[in-house]
Amino acid sequence: MKFGGTSVGDEKCIANVVNIVKESRDAGNEIAVVVSAMTRVTDQLIATAEEVINCKQKPALDAFITSIRSRHMKVLEAVAPDYVDEIGEYLESRLNKLSNILLAVHNLRELTPRSRDYIISFGERLSAPIISAALRQAGVPSCYMSGCDAGILTNGVHNGATALPESYARIQARVGALLTEQVPVVMGYMGCAADGAVTTLGRSGSDYSGAIVGAGIDADEILIWTDVDGVMTTDPRLIPEARVINSISFLEMMEMSYFGAKVIHPRALVPAMQKNIPVRVKNTFNPSHPGTVVIREPHADKRIVKAISLIQNSCLIKVSGAVMAGKPGVAGEIFTTLAEAGVNVMLISQGSSEMTISMIITEEQLDAALSALAEVKQKGFIREFDFDRNVAVVSVVGAGMAGTYGTLGRIFHGLGVAGINVMMISQGSEVNVSFVVKQADGIRAVRAIHEEYHLEEEEEA
């Protein structure tokens, strides 16, 4: 069971978590728990780490540490009054360490990827002991451990590490071996490289931790507990009529997550797919709802379009120039240079005349992408490039789209009726078609397709 930041954000949330775990264990299940940091704590750690390298005077670290301490101690006192001394002492030692590292970063004016990763893993280092103590307070035997101690061995890439396959046997030995006796609470979002360096798994990476641990212990099911009833036809914060999907395939879910459905991290599906373990998304605040099951072969569904994702704040880059026509190796040059600059290209589309290549990247990577393309231009491979930083990517997902005539016609007709101009189209797989619109049209585009396909209506049994 993985509980996200919104599920462990305060004492009331943690009381729900304890009830869910206790009830399931009392029903005879063996459970490993993976937790995120309390909501917003990772953001605060990132902001502070970046602040301390720039500030000229001694940073106000005491105020930061005091506010983090009081938030966590308040929750600890409420959920585990019998363990305040024991866990309080542990939290204090972690806060001391955090404070020392932040001060060192400030003194050196240097934040290496390694120290940044260590700092931003502290949210989970503080939340897991509290949740484990809350379980003990409720009579559930429990211990807590870091992602490293749980056996997650990574490839060493900071801020986006991948777990190595050897992790599974290690997790079985270190976490699986405990399950008959107790509920281990593993700190999500982190693992260790072979040299012992802490490596985080990328933002929202605790879903991935949950799936790695689930695969390691050969779980019957990986449960992602969050703050919505399941995977919905689109982000309910954008379209309130969005409806919970009963079941969805790994591939469909992968496309949805990759294109912005925050409810599951796309990488979390990889360990589950490898071991064919169903992933169930459920609501910590409404546990009786069955949620959504993500499986290899979902139940038959007559729907052509199942869900729509939206990524806002994206950038469209258009590369053009007659030099490109018919010349082999131009695309290779462009994408190799971008990759070397660490730029992740989300979508690509090439004009039939071979005169233009359009691509989508995130706004944060725009500067890096522009420098890389300037290099390609300098070498004479392209003549021009320009960009639009105000675009949104809409992604339509559904296994039923494969081989159904007229799907694209229906989608784009709906957009035409709504008066929305499409700037780029890309069909990346049989279960997904993505297109790009102006940022201001993004939500309207999602709504137009949601309505066109009546996604608010219940699925047929």
Ligand X SMILES: Nc1ncnc2c1ncn2[C@@H]1O[C@H](COP(=O)(O)OP(=O)(O)O)[C@@H](O)[C@H]1O
| DSSP class per residue in 189-258 | TEEE-TTS-EEE--TTTHHHHHHHHHHHTT-S-EEEEESSSS-BSS-TTT-TT--B-SEEEHHHHHHHHH
What is the closest distance, in whole angstroms, from the C-beta atom of residue 263 to ligand PHD in the complex?
10
What number of residues does the chain have?
A: 461
403 φψ region: left (φ > 0), alpha (ψ -120 to 50), beta (else): left
Quick note: the x/- pattern for ligand X over 402-441, rule CB under 6 A, is ----------------------------------------
391 pairs with which residues across the strands?
A: 314, 438
Interacting span for ligand X (CB under 6 A) from 40-48, 228-236, 272-280, 329-337 = 228-236
Interacting span for ligand X (CB under 6 A) from 61-69, 214-222, 257-265, 407-415 = 257-265
What is the closest distance, in whole angstroms, from the C-beta atom of residue 44 to ligand PHD in the complex?
10
Using CA of residue 70, residue 71, residue 72, residue 74, what is the dihedral sign? Answer: positive
**Contacts of residue 159, Cβ cutoff 8 Å, sequence gap at least 6:** 113, 116, 117, 199, 200, 202
Q: How many residues bind ligand PHD (CB under 6 A)?
A: 13
Strands 279-283, 247-249: pairing is unpaired
Q: Which of 16, 167, 206, 283 binds ligand PHD (CB under 6 A)?
A: 206
Q: Which of 115, 121, 234, 426 binds ligand X (CB under 6 A)?
A: 234
Confirm if 176 and 152 have CB atoms less than 8 A apart.
Answer: no
26 φψ region: left (φ > 0), alpha (ψ -120 to 50), beta (else): alpha
The torsion angle over the Cα atoms of residues 79, 83, 86 and 92, rounded to 10 degrees, is 20
What is the closest distance, in whole angstroms, from the C-beta atom of residue 208 to ligand PHD in the complex?
8
Q: Which of 263, 268, 357, 359 binds ligand X (CB under 6 A)?
A: 263
Distance CA 213, CA 208 (A): 9
434 pairs with which residues across the strands?
A: 395, 426
What is the closest distance, in whole angstroms, from the C-beta atom of residue 346 to ligand X in the complex?
16
Quick note: the x/- pattern for ligand PHD over 97-136, rule CB under 6 A, is --------------------------x-------------
Interacting span for ligand PHD (CB under 6 A) from 18-26, 109-117, 204-212, 448-456 = 204-212
What is the closest distance, in whole angstroms, from the C-beta atom of residue 409 to ligand PHD in the complex?
37
Interacting span for ligand PHD (CB under 6 A) from 20-28, 198-206, 351-359, 432-440 = 198-206
Tokens of 417: 């009726």
Q: Is 6 near ligand X (CB under 6 A)?
A: yes
Interacting span for ligand PHD (CB under 6 A) from 22-30, 36-44, 50-58, 353-361 = 36-44
What is the closest distance, in whole angstroms, from the C-beta atom of residue 345 to ligand X in the complex?
22
What is the closest distance, in whole angstroms, from the C-beta atom of residue 338 to ligand X in the complex?
27
Tokens of 232: 């919905």
Tokens of 167: 């992790």
Q: Is 167 near ligand X (CB under 6 A)?
A: no
Tokens of 376: 């390609």
Give contact residues for ligand X (rule: CB under 6 A).
4-7, 36, 204, 226-228, 231-232, 234-237, 261-263, 307
Give contact residues for ligand PHD (rule: CB under 6 A).
4-5, 36-37, 42, 123, 188-189, 203-207
